[in-house]
Chains A and B, each alone.
Chain A
Amino acid sequence: MNWLSDYFDIRRTDAIWTVLLLAMTLGLPLFISNNYYLNVLVLVFLYAGMASAWNILGGMAGQFSLGHTAFFGTGAYTSTLLYNYLGVSPWLGLIAGGIVSMFFAVIIAYPAFRMRGVFFAMATLAFGEAIRILLIYSRKFVDMPYGLSINWEPGFSRMIFEERSSYAFLTGGFLLIVTLVAYGLSRSYIGTYLRAIRDSEEAAVAAGVPMRRYKMIALLISAFFTSAGGTILAQYVLYIEPTSVFSINYSIDLPLMSLIGGIGTVAGPILGAVIALPLRDVLLELFGGAAAGMHLVIYGVLLMVIVIILPDGLIGGVKSLLRRLQRGQTSGNRTTDKRGRK
């Protein structure tokens, strides 16, 4: 086990996070029996996992993608088509979808990685839109219904479950795996390389970082897990259509959740999903009846307030609060200047 601490930066506080995460993903599905809350739990786990996947590329490597719906929809479509037409198990379909998504990722990477910042975001946004339009257009040539339904026949190999809590375990397991991968990347030399690329491409390359290769690694991992999320959602909802699974909402929600929780951190996207999804539900319940779209206005304003007050997300906010408390303790009643220096 010694090589683990040689290659990964393991900290003492990680144990606390691990216990919290395990309790959440494996414990909550056991104790919650209400179907409404179980549904929220499934969606929170699924979004948290996909936001973490987005964050590997968008946060750690700083390549702000707005096109992740392309991978999500590709995952949903690949596994569903394979299952409906060829009877392939969605477990295999999940892998197949991930591979197709990685193939798309390589195609988009070629032009997009030449661009930076806003231009990269726009290129990926266009890519996500283009895939949906191509899919709708392709129905002129291929005989395929607009929407695809999956027959409800529960069975483990079909990834269809009778109990909603089984879906909570499934999505919880998904979240655990993505988090483990994100954690491993973040705490190894790869995480340091990705942050170096994000901070200064010139300096990273001058320090011997093969930038294209590491951006590509981040993109492929990110695409694969987002795609897996698409397969899982398709198996949960049992119905997909181009506008639902290639919706731009996924492209926006995943970065948004990462921003709220703390972009570039391992825990940030999870925290973001835990807060943003239920918040939207609660607002819908409170204001949804009053005026159409009112809850979205309030949601938008709340998000803006969070991002303005906490530019580094909730994780960043908590960290700076802890630092301030610590300093308060060690320096006693000594005064500090505005920047907090002694």
Chain B
Amino acid sequence: MLQIDNVTKRFGGLVAVDAVSLTVNEGEIIGLIGPNGAGKTTLYNVIAGTFPATQGSIHFRGQRIDGKRADETCMLGLARTFQIPQVFGSMTVGDSIMVGAFLRSRSRRVARRRAEEVAEAVGLGHRFDLPTTSLTTAERKRLEVARTLATDPGMILLDEVMAGLNHTEVQLMLDLVSSLRDGGLTVLFVEHNLSAVMQICDRIAVLDHGAKIADGLPTEVMENREVITAYLGAPAEDGENQAGGDHA
């Protein structure tokens, strides 16, 4: 489904993503973990087309997508969420989801129906006509997911959709992601919450300082020396990592 080959992204002298290769098969949920600043969000930006890659190639459904713009990759069925929710501040929840739905139909009636379905699925049905600015953090994260789902993607890139959520909210989000997978969606999943990642992912890849240091089954990866050092060797991470630390 998604094939990343030897992708590097430099910001001036900083190598944010360092020769990363990763393959995601159709229907899989892959967790992408790593300490803060490891390059996870940057890798998403490169895949989605927000930034061009410095080197390497990316294929989606057999088609080369590096060099394409973010709206073009979205059109092809690859949609992403933002780590910091980007809400449309002047709109209602329903209208913001419709922005995504308009990609597949210009009809307001069709787009609205699709938006209502998606809002229901992510648990924002009762918020449909409220302004986005009235949403809580947890609800904004759901809205991020809703906007991407409304574009009818084949694969979604989730960026820390659980950060800042409480235990119940995390559980609801996990249920949502599993139900999406059951619906045939392929998911790449950046998350700090390790227990959530362990529960749900088929495979886990670990980034550290931009490079991929491990890739395998959740249990294998968690026993990997390098991974343990990467996490424990970065004490500054502790504050960031509350939710994950509690369970890991």
Contact = CB atoms under 8 A, between A and B. Distances in A.
A206 B91 CA distance: 17
B231 interface: no
A192 B102 contact: yes
Contacts of B69: 205, 210
A202 B111 contact: no
B247 interface: no
B228 interface: no
Interface stretch (B24-32, B72-80, B193-201): B72-80
Given A195-B90, A199-B90, A205 B70 contact: yes
Given A192-B95, A192-B102, A208 B151 contact: yes
Contacts of A200: 86-89
Contacts, number: 95
A198 B151 CA distance: 20
Contact of B88 (A7, A9, A196): A196
B237 to A, nearest CB: 26
B91 A189 contact: no
Interface residues of A, number: 25
Contacts of A6: 107-110
Contacts of B147: 203, 206-207
A204 interface: yes
Contact of B70 (A9, A195, A198, A206): A206
A210 B147 CA distance: 16
Contacts of A202: 50, 82, 86
Given A6-B108, A189-B106, A193-B99, A206 B88 contact: no
Interface in B3-49: 48
Contacts of B218: none
Interface in B81-118: 81-82, 86-91, 95-96, 98-100, 102-103, 106-111
Given A203-B82, A203-B88, A208 B100 contact: yes
B86 A192 contact: no
Contacts of A189: 98, 102, 106, 108, 111
B71 interface: yes
A204 B108 contact: no
A192 B96 CA distance: 8
B99 A204 contact: yes
Interface of A: 5-9, 188-189, 192-193, 195-196, 198-200, 202-211, 264
